[in-house]
Amino acid sequence: MAGKFKNLSYIARGNSNLGGIARMVAFAESDFEGGTGWPKRADLGETGEVTVAPPLKDAVIGAELSFDHGSCRVKSSKKGALGYQNHDHEVEAKFAGVSPAQMPAVEAFFNEGGVIVAYYKNGNRRVFGASWNPLVIEESDDSGAKGGDPNAISFKGKATDLDFHAPFLASSVTLPTDAMAVKAMPFTVGA
């Protein structure tokens, strides 16, 4: 009889394994229909992927967060004493510039939680936060002190006490995205 634990190995040799995140698409907590939240533990298939489409309100399009190269990371962690463990999801990124054109997008995060789909550099999609327990988004901007310093907006989102690691999104799940806003990606972008 197989034990409860399963074999766990590093990725097979000879494969690409680039660090960092290439793309983020964000949905606000209020973009979702009420009632059944998304994603929830019951949405995860046998492989732990989310196989259920997000229950978005009519005509909602995800916001494309086009961050500086090499600035975006995502984390999913499990913590706690045996019998009381839970999970935290975190995302962070930086956006060059601090300008009036960027401020309305920043202001939209004010007292508004979110769910973010992060795209790894091989195109795999992973969901951070949940509509029933959204990422709480904090951002700050800093002019730097001299010409070579980054004049940038820093963005962080964190959701605590979820009952699953940030789940991968099954390849068949459809998301509505902004066709005009997506930048060049190291993987095939859907449409």
- Whichever of 55 and 150 has its CB closer to other proteins, that residue is 55
100-108 long-range contacts, CB within 8 A, separation 24+: 102/153, 105/63, 106/139, 106/141, 106/153, 108/28, 108/63
Q: CB of residue 161 vs other proteins: minimum separation in angstroms?
A: 28
* Site string (146-165) toward other proteins, x via CB under 8 A: --------------------
Closer Cβ to other proteins, 15 or 174, answer by number: 174
**Shortest Å distance, C-beta 172 to other proteins:** 6
Structure tokens, 140: 């700050």
The DSSP element (H or E) to which 155 belongs, if any, is: strand 152-162
| Number of neighbours of residue 37 by Cβ within 10 angstroms | 18
179 binds other proteins (CB under 8 A): yes
User: By CB under 8 A, what part of segment 1-30 binds other proteins?
Assistant: none
The 99-128 site mask, x for binding other proteins (CB under 8 A), equals: ------------------------xxx---
- What are the residues whose beta carbons fall under 8 Å from the beta carbon of 165, sequence distance 6 or more? 48, 76, 78, 87
Sheet of strand 125-128, all strands in order from the earlier edge strand to the far edge: 63-65, 21-28, 114-120, 125-128
Cα Rg of the chain (Å, integer): 18
DSSP assignment of 23-40 equals EEEEEEGGGB-SSS-SS-
Closest CB 178 distance from other proteins, rounded Å: 7
Indicate the residue among 85 and 124 with the shorter CB distance to other proteins. Answer: 124
Taking CB under 8 A as the binding criterion, the range among 14-22, 103-111, 131-139, 181-189 that sits at the site for other proteins is: 181-189
State the minimum distance, in angstroms, from the CB of residue 44 to other proteins: 17
Nearer to other proteins, 98 or 175 (CB): 175
Q: What is the DSSP letter of 112?
A: -
Task: Out of 52, 53, 98, 136, point to the residue binding other proteins (CB under 8 A).
Answer: 53
Applying CB under 8 A, which residues contact other proteins? Answer: 53-61, 123-125, 169-180, 182, 187-191
